[in-house]
Structure 1
Amino acid sequence: MRETLRGLLELTRPVNAVAAGVLTLIGAYVSGADGGGLAAFPLQGAAAVLATVLATGAGNAINDYFDRDIDAINAPDRAIPRGAVSPGGALFFSVVLFAGAVVLALTLPVLALAIAGFNLLALVAYTELFKGLPGVGNLLVAYLGGSTFLFGGAAVEGALATAATLAALAALSTFTREVIKDVEDLAGDREEGLNTLPIAVGERRALAVGTAALVVAVLASPVPYLRESLGLAYLAVVVPADLLMLGAAAEAFSDPSDAQQHMKYGMFLAAAAFLVGRSIAV
């Protein structure tokens, strides 16, 4: 029983699920204006954060269900390949988590509910239909990652301009990281007959596409400061984040495994820049 519970927890990728909830919280916080925001609607903000954690955990679990044969090659220590959780058990667990997320989303404003509903359909479509299509699965995951900020802002009926900018920048950097991860998983994906971007166009070309998306994000990152939505404190944090992500993109050509981890750190630092910029008006 203990091994099964541990396996179920592992399926959710708890660190990633909680991190997604934090990103939703940041989206709610930075959108605080025009009578909306986290301070005005704390219960809605809490519901949105918990819904994001549950939905992310559910998405990770169902992804492992569909990827169980690939994981037997790429990640044999994961819960399903090693036998801690059966495929049917993982599928049932993901449905329970999705149901909890839906119940919480039903308490939120219409726009937030619409985002949650679309994201649920997109997540299922990704795992079942689009994951193995060159670039398409990467774009869908990028949208889902960026939309957590927009979902947070919509949940608390805030001003969405800053949250939308954060969502767009996060989507671009997430696309880059997903391409790097596809390069890292090349052997298992090829074994399963998937046609990911690195398989379709080659590793270096795929990484060049991912790097180009990141460069667009980096070039656009000063926009909130130039629009005077966020102060100098934002710029002071986002510049190191940009440099860290650009370094990770360059590292991916020689070591994609370490690069995708470093990219994740840079993305979290960039999200923190919005938080600092909203908190400190300089």
Structure 2
Amino acid sequence: MSVTSDLHSARSTPHPRAVLTLVKPITWFPPVWAYLCGVVASGVSPWSAPGPVLLGMVLAGPVVCGMSQAANDWCDRHVDAINEPDRPIPSGAIPGRWGLWIALAMSALALLLGTALGPWGFGATVFGVAAAWAYSAEPVRLKRSGILGPGLVGLCYEGLPWFTGAAVLSAGAPAAPVVALALLYALGAHGIMTLNDFKALEGDRQTGVRSLPVTLGPARAARVACWTMALPQLAVVALLAGWDWPWHAGAIAALLALQLAAMRVLLRDPKGRAPWYNATGVSLYVGGMMVAAFALRGTGG
């Protein structure tokens, strides 16, 4: 056992820095961005309701997404002991059952804050919290499926916050175009989540998690992920062009073209290049989301 592990094992309470690491602030951006896309797509000025905008951002990112990360790390502590033993729970920086208590406390906080966003916001919060536990925890543990697991995460990272932002700002169900594009971008996010599974390939294989990189192998899984990301965006381009928003459609097509160039680089070394693509191609993907949201402003949510 290392000196660091010895020090961690002697702790009875979590190290504050380890708690911050547990909730992974870097993962908060996608749902916060998607919530803002929904706010923009609603057609309602965010300055007319700054409270719900700010609360929704906090709820989508630090609270619900942070809670989902804590829950996943607690439920994955045996997998992480193989893949990343220095993470807070397997390393002992968060000792005992503190990881579970943090995830449960954040779940309760999410539900409490969700009540302030009205029935649509609260309903979305309940769904998001339930989905986080269904993804990670036994006996459901949808993470075991390379289809259902990434699909659920993509829905909660991109589609659900987009829908929620539009519903909260417009105080009602969003318009059909808003829902359609939110679902398309959520579907495309399945590919992003598949690429994210490359980092856990060995631990997933040993513990029976049937991610696409495990079941298909890195090369085929990367090709499936690329098609999954590209096709929904092509559908978005077609819909925006058909709805007479050609400039927005053209901008998203240009962003997609850049992604396709990045995908060619990814496919040369899927496992090695997956982190690089997540920092480049995914940025282009979420940029297109905001372009689409601005196109939808005229629908009135």
TM-score normalised by the chain length of structure 1: 0.85
Q: How is 1:79-228 mapped onto 2 (pairs within 5 angstroms)? A: 79-86=88-95, 88-128=97-137, 129-145=141-157, 146-157=159-170, 159-222=174-237, 223-228=239-244
Q: Where does residue 22 of structure 1 map in the other structure?
A: 33
Q: Which moved more, 1:61-70 or 1:11-20?
A: 11-20
SS at match of 1:195: coil
Whole-angstrom distance in 2 between the partners of 1:74 and 1:258: 19
SS at match of 2:46: coil
- The aligned amino acid for 1:121 is A
CA 1:163–1:97 in 2, change beyond 3 Å: closer, same or farther?
farther
Whole-angstrom distance in 1 between the partners of 2:22 and 2:34: 20
Say whether the 8 Å CA contact 2:68–2:103 is kept in structure 1. yes
CA 1:270–1:183 in 2, change beyond 3 Å: closer, same or farther?
same
Aligned-pair CA distance for 1:22: 3.1
- The aligned amino acid for 1:239 is A
Whole-angstrom distance in 2 between the partners of 1:247 and 1:70: 34
Aligned-pair CA distance for 1:242: 1.3
SS at match of 1:85: coil
Aligned-pair CA distance for 1:52: 1.0
Name which of 255, 280, 293 aligns with 1:241. 255
RMSD: 2.7
Q: Where does residue 71 of structure 1 map in the other structure?
A: 80
- The aligned amino acid for 2:19 is L
Q: Where does residue 272 of structure 1 map in the other structure?
A: 290
Q: Where does residue 13 of structure 1 map in the other structure?
A: 24
Q: Deviations over 1:115-156 (max 9, x none)?
A: 221222122101121101231111111111221111111111
Aligned length: 275
Identity %: 24
Whole-angstrom distance in 1 between the partners of 2:97 and 2:71: 10
SS at match of 2:86: coil
Say whether the 8 Å CA contact 2:41–2:294 is kept in structure 1. no
- The aligned amino acid for 2:46 is L
- The aligned amino acid for 1:193 is G
- The aligned amino acid for 1:151 is T
Q: Which moved more, 1:129-138 or 1:154-163?
A: 154-163
Whole-angstrom distance in 2 between the partners of 1:247 and 1:11: 34
Q: Which moved more, 1:92-101 or 1:162-171?
A: 162-171
Question: 1 or 2 for the larger relative contact order (CA 8 Å, sep ≥6)?
Answer: 2
- The aligned amino acid for 2:148 is V
Q: Where does residue 6 of structure 2 map in the other structure?
A: none
Q: Where does residue 53 of structure 2 map in the other structure?
A: 45
Whose radius of gyration is greater, 1 or 2? 2
Aligned-pair CA distance for 1:19: 4.2
Unaligned runs of 5+ in 1: none
Whole-angstrom distance in 2 between the partners of 1:246 and 1:136: 25
Answering whether residue 281 of structure 2 is matched by residue 263 of structure 1, we say yes
Say whether the 8 Å CA contact 1:13–1:57 is kept in structure 2. yes
Aligned-pair CA distance for 1:265: 1.5
- The aligned amino acid for 1:257 is P
TM-score normalised by the chain length of structure 2: 0.80
Say whether the 8 Å CA contact 1:214–1:246 is kept in structure 2. no
